[in-house]
Amino acid sequence: MDSPRPGLARRGFLRGLGGVSLGALLAAGATTASPTASAASPAAAAPARHRFLRVNNIRVHVVEAGTGPLVLLLHGWPETWYSWRHQIPALARAGFRVVVPDQRGYGWTDRPGAVTDYDIEHLVDDITGLIDVLGERQAYVVGHDWGAIVAWHTALLRPERVRAVAALSVPHRWAEPAGSLLPVESLRATYGDHFYIVYFQRPGLSDVDLASDPRTLFRRMLYTGSGDGPGWNAMIPSSGRILDVLAEPTALPAWYTQHDVDTYTAQFRHSGFTGGLNWYRNFDRNWLLTAPWRDSPVRPPALYVVGDRDGIASSPQAQQLLAGPTASVPNLRRAVLLPGAGHWTQQERPTEVTEALLGFLRSV
């Protein structure tokens, strides 16, 4: 397992964490006065700290702020704890204990070597193990993108540990395969070998591609998948270069800065992309592992938030949740469709997402 060296110089360590002081969370990442503000307006940031915890035999880097009921914020791909930079101080000021991990394979958390170390059982065990290490019995579990998948499955498989679940962008059971096929086989049959999830299955290929120019990757990816960009092209071209399907912004949108691009670049130059890609390489394994729960509902109270310019908003599963409770999520309390927002919901619309989360958390 790889992990940050104990002897890392303090300055280099903080640079890798996103340039955050241990006494206060990100002046540059404090919640903005409005979601369209051109620059972050530093609010009185709640005291926060970075630390490492031993969870399920790996060392997990977390950012923690506030006191009160425990809220876990789970990032997606390709992100880190930093994607929640706006919500951390806001939720802490509102009376919650906010803990945001770099999930396994990401940031400064360990990166196990086997692909199967990233299956859904390991990912859910990391969340319940983190709750245990933090000395709690339950938590509010909030996730975005792949973090939403982990949040849904933690609520499904371990409902006694979840006070409530909130998912951003990705609805529950969004990748159901057709007929008797496994998920990757189904995607290959429908879209071909160049569909991005199929492309990600080959170890070493996409890993090298993504790592070749992470600064350009994050500048383009954040723009392309946002409400300001043209939207995803999920097909990787014959060149095999993901950068070739990502649009170059003429100027950065108001919601992210060059500092944000540089922060993600530094974090992924440290961690590489293989850990996150290994989550995708367990699609079929996860489908088989969760077969016994196929007809089981997610029972804890739930919130769903998605941008109307996120392609996943048009999926049948998202449309069903936007219409109200479903058989799979019978205790859905609220669904929020964010006009003009794309995939990076909590970064593009920090004020609206924070308000939705606070309203939901307080209600349950």
Q: How far is CA 114 from the centre of its chain?
A: 21
Q: Are 278 and 115 in contact (CB under 8 A)?
A: yes
DSSP state of 238: T
The answer to whether the CB of 253 falls within 8 A of the CB of 278 is no
Name the token pair of 108: 């400064």
DSSP class per residue in 314-350: GSHHHHHHHHS--SSSTTEEEEEEETT--S-HHHHSH
SS3 content of the chain, % helix, strand, coil (to 5): 40, 15, 45
Catalytic residues: 145, 343
Q: 3-state class of 99 per DSSP?
A: strand
Provide the token pair at 48.
């926060």
Q: How many CA atoms lie within 13 A of 5 on its CB side?
A: 6
The Cα 20–Cα 208 span in angstroms is 29
**SS3 of 324, please?**
coil
HEC letters along 254-295: CCCCHHHHHHHHHHHHHHCCHHHHHHHCCHHHHHHHCHHHCC
- The single-letter code of the amino acid at 210 is L
